[in-house]
Amino acid sequence: MAGVENTGEAGATGGQEGPEASDGAYECNICLDQARDAVVSMCGHLFCWPCLHTWLETRRNNQVCPVCKAAISRDKVIPLYGRNSSNKDPRNQLPPRPPGQRTEPENQGTTFGGVNFGDTNFHMSFGIGAFPLGFFASTLNFGGERLNPHAGLQPGQQFHADDQMLSKLFLGLGIFCVIWILLA
Amino acid sequence: MFEQQTSGDKGISAFPDGDNLFSWVATISGAANTVYEGIEFKLRMEFSNNYPFSAPTVRFTSPCFHPNVDQQGNICLDILKEKWSASYDVRALLLSIQSLLGEPNNSSPLNVQAADLWSDQSRFRQSVLERCSSCVRQS
């Protein structure tokens, strides 16, 4: 209806026929406007790439041609380049995507304990010799956290150095015990 | 984006409801040689912001006695649900609903009574008219 009004002034001399003749031939099958960044499917149907991309994104598991339901995918459409259009592949110019969303995890407090328990596991995995120390170290760590839960780096490091020394000691003891058991 | 419904097709029409382009009022006339012949149904079509990538919501606003239309006017039609395609326009939708009127899918009815009565076309026609006497087109 709007089209008839527009051509009414310009086209008493058959100007109406021009647009009518090519009406729809180069229109996108989704937005019904003239196709921009045009691509054509293997089944011959014309789309704007942004339109087709959005359609394919809404049907990731069932990508079919909106017109004839033939199988279709990003790699099975052909970009169309007119004389004055840029030769860039429209498939590389995707419509802007919505940004990802990230929410902070809940229960910040409990993760601290989790880390300490992880430490204990780490020590335990080294073998029999380190086991008693791991238990001991974690106990010490807990003490340190409790005394100075927020900024206990300095004392923590001290504990750590002590731990390492004790760890070596116990490791040596452990190895000695194993060898002794093996020899006996 | 929206294809304006023009008078090119017999028996269907649709226009935006006032200034709201996302809500349309449509009419469908029952096809000739069906129980709905001479009856004009009104429908409302609600388009989401995502149209045409998701189907509009289409409901009968006139009472419609049909196996695939429930008491509230909701329509059970595959292309309004999982078979929707972005290339369907208002005209294609209304023509599909018009042909659904004459060819119901009685195997998955929303209105069981209508599905049972479908085999008796003259009684079915009576039921249609009882429920929607105001829909009969004045000619």
What DSSP string describes A74-114?
GGGEEE---TTS--S-GGGSPPPPPPP---PPS-HHHHHHH
pLDDT-based confidence at A15, cuts 50/70/90? very low
CB-based contact A67 B52, cutoff 8 Å:
no
pLDDT-based confidence at A20, cuts 50/70/90? very low
Which tens digit of pLDDT belongs to each residue from A38-54?
899 999 999 988 899 88
Which tens digit of pLDDT belongs to each residue from B3-24?
555 556 778 999 999 888 899 9
**Cβ contact A136:A180 at 8 Å:** no
**What percentage of chain A carries pLDDT values higher than 90?**
11
Q: Is position B21 within any domain?
A: yes
Measured CA to CA, the distance from residue B54 to residue B50 in angstroms comes to 6
Average pLDDT over residues A63-68: 92
- Chain A's closest residue to B53, CA to CA, is A55
**What percentage of chain B carries pLDDT values higher than 90?**
63
Residues of A in contact with B86 (CB under 8 A): 29-30, 51, 55, 66
**Cβ contact B41:B134 at 8 Å:** no
Q: Is position B49 within any domain?
A: yes
- Chain B's closest residue to A52, CA to CA, is B86
Q: Give the residues across from A48 on adjacent strands.
A: A38
Average pLDDT over residues B55-76: 93
Q: What is the DSSP letter of B62?
A: S
Measured torsion, CA atoms of residues A40, A43, A45, A49, in degrees rounded to the nearest 10: -40
- The total number of structural domains in chain B stands at 1
CB-based contact A30 B52, cutoff 8 Å:
yes
CB-based contact A31 B52, cutoff 8 Å:
yes
Q: What's the confidence (pLDDT) of residue A109?
A: 52
Residues of A in contact with B88 (CB under 8 A): 66
Question: Which of B1, B4, B88 comes nearest A31 by C-beta?
Answer: B1
pLDDT-based confidence at A36, cuts 50/70/90? confident
pLDDT-based confidence at B123, cuts 50/70/90? very high
Q: Give the residues across from B17 on adjacent strands.
A: B20
The minimum CA-CA distance between B13 and chain A, rounded to whole Å, is: 14
Q: What's the confidence (pLDDT) of residue B138?
A: 58
Q: What's the confidence (pLDDT) of residue A152?
A: 43
Q: What's the confidence (pLDDT) of residue B75?
A: 94
- Domain with B38, as residue range(s), is 12-132
Which tens digit of pLDDT belongs to each residue from A147-176?
444 444 444 455 667 778 888 888 899 898
User: Residue B64 catalytic?
Assistant: no
Q: Is position B23 within any domain?
A: yes
Task: Tell me which residues of chain B have a C-beta less than 8 Å from any C-beta of chain A.
Answer: 1, 3-4, 6, 50, 52-54, 85-89
- State the DSSP string of B112-125: HHHHHHTTSHHHHH
Q: Is position B1 within any domain?
A: no
Q: Is position B99 within any domain?
A: yes
Q: Is the model's pLDDT at A32 over the cut of 80?
A: yes
Measured CA to CA, the distance from residue A66 to residue A29 in angstroms comes to 8
